[in-house]
Amino acid sequence: MTASQRREQLLAVSRGLFAEKGFDGTSVEEIAQRAEVSKPVVYEHFGGKEGVYAVVVDREIQALTAALTGALTSRGHPKVLLERASLALLTYIENSEDGFRILVRDSPVAQATGTFSSLIGDVATQVATLLRAQFRDRGLDPRYAALYAQMLVGSVALTGQYWLDARRPPKTEVAAHLVNLAWNGLSHLERRPELHETPGAGR
């Protein structure tokens, strides 16, 4: 096995272990044992567990970023772009289950910091740009586009986490329902939304 082949083997083995046990639950000894090499081989290629993990996460982030960015920067109506982005995330989960588990286990959607949260923030920024134009066209205040983008992207990401284990209904149906909620809700936005009850009222 060449050095390049050995490196790829170690990455594949580590990816499976990180998905199964998380970063803290995985040891260099386990990686070496499953790859049928000695511990020094792992250290030689990556310098330790942290080095392997960094490469694994970086590859997953690049793959997911490319899929989502490609969907959001292509031509088409904003509703179609939302459909493509939702489907792109679900397709990534379907094809890279271990990778998605690694991303959300150590940096879940609900967490304010972390690699996955940073990615979600980047995607939300792209979505906000699309929404500002829609808000202006509909007479809505474009200053709130970034807030709505966070809502939309967050709901898609959380749904993706749910679908990772449920796998029902099929991804095309999940994407269609996501867009149904997001788009049909957006198409009937109130210009100045207010709560029907003031918090604390009636106590």
Q: How far apart are CA 75 and CA 81, in angstroms?
A: 8
What sign has the CA pseudo-torsion 9, 12, 13, 15? positive
How far, CA to CA in Å, does 170 sit from each of 9, 53, 94? 32, 31, 10
pLDDT tens for each residue of 71-92: 888 888 888 888 999 999 999 9
Of 48-52, 103-107, 151-155, least confident by mean pLDDT is: 103-107
Using a pLDDT cut of 90, give the percent of the chain over it: 47
Q: Which of 143, 137, 174 is nearest to 159 (CA)?
A: 174
Query: Environment class of residue 176 by beta-carbon count within 10 Å: exposed (0-12), middle (13-18) or buried (19+)?
Result: middle
Work out the pLDDT band at 199, boundaries 50, 70, 90.
low
CB 91 within 8 A of CB 71: no
Across 4-26, average pLDDT: 95
107 falls in which pLDDT band (50, 70, 90)? Answer: low
Domains in the chain, ordered, with CATH? 56-187 (1.10.357.10)
pLDDT tens for residues 115-146? 787 888 888 898 898 888 888 888 889 999 99
Half-sphere exposure of 71 (CA within 13 A, CB side): 21
Tokens matching residue 102: 């690694």
* Residue in 104, 68, 107 with CA at minimum distance from that of residue 84: 68
